[in-house]
Amino acid sequence: MTKVFIPGKLFLAGEYAITHPGNTAIIAATTTGLSVEITPSNTKSSAYSNTLPKQWHFEINHTENQYTDDWRYVRAAIKIIHDYVKINTNNNHFNEVMMTITSNLNGPFGKIGLGSSAAVVVGVVEAFNDFFQLNLPILTRFKLASLAHLHVQKNGSLGDIAAITYGGVIAYQSPDLSEFTQTDKNWLNPTIVNKPWSKLAITSLPWPTDWQLLLGATHESADTKSAIKNINLAQEFLSESQYIVQNIINTVITGNYVNFSKGLRDNQLLLTHNLPAGYITPKLAILLKSLKNVAGKISGAGFGDNGFAVFNDNVDNLIYFWQLHQIDTQVIVISPQKEVNYE
């Protein structure tokens, strides 16, 4: 039997710019995540999740090319890891398995926006790597999970995959995959994995031990894809974001909380000025206004979901204020780092 615990993720800085190759974001891995358990099966393979109503029954060496159902992320991850192993090792046959995915990425009031689909693909890759004793390097596992996620979602920076795979807090520079783009957008191509990914860089950051993360989940949902579809970000925005994020990275390394707080404010102002009005929902507006001298901002795409605070002192009043305005609070513990740098 294999059981792996997979973190969630929380974007801290560099959102939107990170969707353009070569730009940088800061992302934390959280201990609030999910687990994937695999045991041998004597019959066909099966998969169960506490977040889905139906089990999935399948043949592990013959997964269908169908990526629209509830199990699409799991299906894509199994397909690419199977095909990669088949062409790169002597192992071209996996034994059937029973797989159980248990997620804690939903709070008592709904999803809390810590990257459930990314955690699922990373979880499948990590569990298969352990169960079948594949001994794949961490960079290979990141790339396999990335391609599975990209195949289903069709876009994204892959920063959530990197954070969840590597753990801790990372500075992540997004890759340029344009040379590998398929006309049919089929990213389940195992031959891409061992090739260099231009501009990709993943660097672990030394998060100060006295800085803690507080999640503020608004549970205001929006159709983010529709909201951001027609947003065109100027080069000036990308350059400014890169400058601000590099400064924030330096404040993390030096443990300078005051300048870290200023850097997050600068990043938030840049995003606010360049994104449509719907980016800041009513609850997110309340969250931002309440921060005052506490470091924090909106996390991720906005238009609902989460904000966060980073604190090194008592924030009971802030927690009370958020809860008073129906903002769900959760102190976030950062998941341990697995490995250091890739550039």
Does the pLDDT of residue 109 top 50, yes or no? no
Q: What is the pLDDT of residues 57-67, one digit of tens each?
A: 999 998 877 77
Q: What is the pLDDT of residues 163-190, one digit of tens each?
A: 999 999 999 999 999 999 876 678 999 9
Q: Which amino acid is at 164?
A: I
Question: What local confidence, expressed as pLDDT, does residue 70 receive?
Answer: 86
Q: What is the pLDDT of residues 311-321, one digit of tens each?
A: 999 899 999 99
What percentage of residues in the chain have a pLDDT greater than 90?
77
- Per the model's pLDDT, the better-predicted residue between 233 and 307 turns out to be 307
Instruction: Give yes or no for a contact between 48 and 109, defined as CB atoms under 8 angstroms apart.
Output: no
Question: What local confidence, expressed as pLDDT, does residue 63 receive?
Answer: 81
Q: Which 3 state secondary structure label does DSSP give 36?
A: strand
Question: What local confidence, expressed as pLDDT, does residue 83 receive?
Answer: 94
Identify the structural domains of the chain with CATH numbers, from first to last. 2-205 (3.30.230.10), 212-332 (3.30.70.890)
Question: What local confidence, expressed as pLDDT, does residue 51 receive?
Answer: 86
Instruction: Give yes or no for a contact between 171 and 343, defined as CB atoms under 8 angstroms apart.
Output: no
Q: Which 3 state secondary structure label does DSSP give 131?
A: helix
Least confident of 26-35, 89-98, 120-129, 296-305: 89-98
The pLDDT mean for the chain works out to: 91
Sign of CA dihedral 150, 156, 161, 166: positive
Q: Which 3 state secondary structure label does DSSP give 231?
A: coil
Q: What is the pLDDT of residues 67-107, one digit of tens each?
A: 778 899 999 999 999 999 999 987 778 999 999 999 887 65
DSSP 337: P
Question: What local confidence, expressed as pLDDT, does residue 185 receive?
Answer: 75
Q: What is the pLDDT of residues 213-224, one digit of tens each?
A: 999 999 887 555
Question: What local confidence, expressed as pLDDT, does residue 183 receive?
Answer: 67
* pLDDT category of residue 342 using cuts at 50, 70 and 90: low
Please name which of 117, 148, 159, 130 lies closest in space to residue 33, comparing C-alpha atoms.
117
Question: What local confidence, expressed as pLDDT, does residue 155 receive?
Answer: 85
What percentage of residues in the chain have a pLDDT greater than 70?
92
E-strand stretches of 143-200: 169-173
